Copies of this chain bind each other. A is one copy, B any other.
């Protein structure tokens, strides 16, 4: 599926904890789905460690290639939170305390009766020229620098930030998907699905096999921007599966 109407996005996940395997990312799927609904297709994601040159190079490559770039992680108060400085260096601009960020965090910590110490003051450092992204959860803002959106890594905070950002974005028609799951091996329907894909290049047809209780099955996922077309093609897929002796089933919630 590569409609010229769709905008493109990439995501940069910043943090040793994901690369080490300690934490599983929970942000990519949320952001990709939210963007899809406003016609922005996620085209690439990268996960890099908390190392400045890695972050800078990845930001510069991605922002040149895609309409929008979303980063998550590395904007807290600790020594391994280096995203804001890296973004400033990637854009070749200065960085310093942003007056509005200072005001929000002062108010936040005063209300919480928590010391606004030097570590917490780091969270007011925003690259010159960036616009703040609201953080309704814990006050410390994200920011937008041209086509790069810098957000928190904690899912609850990232989701709140993204909700504020989405209305600013220009997208295209919503990308939706339908799926049909049959209790047949993917290899049995592969040729028919390849032909269906060739006849309908404007949609994306993906086959995702699974095994459950010793039985091979496959989910056929159709993605595109025309819901009527997707519904018609889903019927075609279901008819094909039943025509070869299979049944339409619920996909097991978890692969064995």
Contact = CB atoms under 8 A, between A and B. Distances in A.
A36 to B, nearest CB: 7
Contacts of A210: 154
Interface stretch (A47-55, A91-99, A142-150): A47-55
Interface string A122-139: 100000000000000010
Contacts of A207: 76, 78, 80
Contacts of A31: 21
Contacts of A45: 18-19, 46-47
Contacts of A253: none
B25 A177 contact: no
Interface stretch (A163-171, A191-199, A226-234): A191-199
Interface in A204-222: 204-211, 221
A24 interface: yes
Interface residues of A, number: 68
B20 A255 contact: no
B42 A19 contact: yes
B48 A44 contact: yes
Interface in A46-90: 46-50, 54, 76-80
Contacts of A177: 20, 22
A187 interface: yes
25 contacts: A15-B206, A16-B204, A18-B28, A19-B28, A19-B32, A20-B32, A20-B175, A21-B31, A24-B24, A44-B48, A45-B46, A46-B47, A50-B206, A76-B209, A77-B187, A79-B193, A79-B205, A80-B197, A80-B206, A114-B188, A119-B188, A120-B187, A154-B209, A154-B210, A156-B256
Interface of A: 15-26, 28-33, 36, 42-50, 54, 76-80, 114-115, 117-120, 122, 138, 154-156, 175, 177, 185-188, 190-191, 193-194, 197, 204-211, 221, 223, 255-256
